[in-house]
């Protein structure tokens, strides 16, 4: 379900930006009639898209938690709304352009937010491969708790559907690739985790399969 929500959010953001971009372009190029026509055509779809975008955004926020960058992004988007409304109502190009740039930069921040992931603490005793008691699954579990649990839940059991790792059908090699390079909605961990940590966490994820 979470996966579906993430897609819905992503697609509604793209559509929202697209409509917004066309409107701003029409305003800036003095295509008044076209702007009125376009605004009329997209009125209902735009409303649906905005609701989807906000509702999924709020839900995802509750799931993933708030980071500083995300907070800035939300403030920028909220501030841009009144500027946009006034800008289009008064056909004020400068205001329209400002609000457009604000929304676009917020989108850029969102992408940065997705890619940036801080190094977390994993107990060095568990991570020490030279220790005769080194257990790769335990190491993987510790890495999982530190990096993956917030999205995949304890033991990979989060939510009905999308992110559940216990019912996955992919093989080890695919999982390894997903963790290293990411998949469309999950950023890759190649810059955050070292190869041993990646091996360990995938070994652990393999044990979750029911
Ligand atoms: C920001 C949230 C998030 C974090 C953190 C995260 N994942 Fe994911 N993960 C996802 C999402 C969303 C998907 C589904 C992506 C898709 O298919 O588009 C996914 C997919 C996967 C898959 C593919 C499952 C399959 O069977 O195809 C694996 C394996 C996986 N994650 C492992 C991990 C591991 C291991 C970590 C920690 C190192 C991790 N994830 C951290 C969100 C996250």
pLDDT for residue 117: 66
Distance from residue 118's CA to the centre of ligand 1 (Å): 16
44 lies in the same domain as 13: yes
- Give yes or no for a contact between 1 and 162, defined as CB atoms under 8 angstroms apart: yes
Please indicate, yes or no, whether residues 95 and 143 belong to a single structural domain of this protein: no
Q: Which two tokens stand for residue 21?
A: 């971009």
Per-residue pLDDT at 204? 96
pLDDT 10s digits, 71-96: 888 888 889 989 998 998 898 999 99
163 CB near ligand 1 (under 6 Å): yes
The reply to whether 109 and 22 lie within a common domain is yes
By most ligand atoms within 8 Å of CB, the mutation choice from 6, 143, 155, 186 for ligand 1 is: 186
128 and 97 in one domain? no
Token pair in block for residue 113: 């937010």
What string of DSSP letters covers 79-120?
HHHHHHHHHHHTT-HHHHHHHHHHHHHHHHHHHHHHH-----
**Co-location of 8 and 100 in the same domain:** yes
User: Are 89 and 182 in the same domain?
Assistant: no
What separation in Å is there between the alpha carbon of 186 and the centre of ligand 1? 5
Which residue has the CA at smallest separation from atom 37 of ligand 1?
148
Same structural domain, 148 and 96: no
> Do 34 and 132 share a domain, yes or no?
no
**Residues 141, 109 share a domain:** no
CA of 154 to the centre of ligand 1 (A): 13
Domain endpoint, select from 115, 148, 180:
115
Q: H or E segment at 181? A: helix 172-181
* Tokens, residue 200: 């360990």
Q: How many domains does the chain have?
A: 2
Which of 89, 115, 141 is the C-terminal boundary of a domain? 115
Element (H, E) at 34: helix 32-64
- Domain that includes residue 102, residue range: 2-115
Q: Is the full-model pTM beyond 0.85?
A: no
Contact 140, 200 (CB under 8 A): yes
Digitized pLDDT (tens) for each residue of the chain, 210 residues in all: 667 787 888 899 889 889 999 999 999 999 999 999 999 999 999 999 989 988 888 877 776 666 677 788 888 888 998 999 899 889 899 999 999 999 888 877 655 555 556 778 889 999 999 999 999 999 999 999 998 887 888 888 875 445 788 887 789 999 999 999 887 667 789 888 999 999 999 999 999 987
Among 115, 143, 162, the domain-final residue is 115
| For ligand 1, mutation pick of 178, 202, 203 (most atoms within 8 Å of CB) | 178
């Amino acid at each position: 379900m979470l996966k579906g929500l993430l897609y819905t959010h992503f697609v509604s953001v793209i559509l929202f930006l697209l409509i917004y971009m066309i409107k701003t372009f029409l305003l800036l190029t003095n295509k008044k009639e076209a702007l009125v026509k376009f605004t009329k055509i997209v009125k209902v779809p735009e409303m649906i898209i905005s609701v989807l975008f906000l509702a999924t955004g709020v839900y995802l926020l509750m799931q993933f938690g708030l980071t500083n960058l995300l907070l800035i992004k939300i403030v920028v988007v909220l501030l841009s709304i009144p500027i946009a409304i006034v800008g289009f109502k008064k056909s004020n190009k400068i205001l329209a352009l400002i609000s457009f740039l604000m929304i676009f930069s917020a989108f850029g921040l969102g992408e940065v937010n997705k890619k940036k992931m801080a190094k977390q603490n994993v107990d060095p005793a568990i991570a020490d491969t030279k220790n005769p008691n080194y257990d790769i699954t335990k190491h993987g579990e510790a890495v999982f708790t530190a990096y993956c649990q917030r999205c995949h839940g304890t033991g990979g059991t989060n939510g009905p559907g999308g992110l559940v790792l216990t019912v996955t059908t992919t093989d080890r090699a695919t999982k390894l690739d997903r963790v290293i390079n990411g998949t469309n909605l999950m950023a890759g961990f190649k810059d955050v985790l070292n190869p041993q940590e990646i091996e360990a966490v995938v070994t652990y994820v393999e044990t979750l399969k029911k």
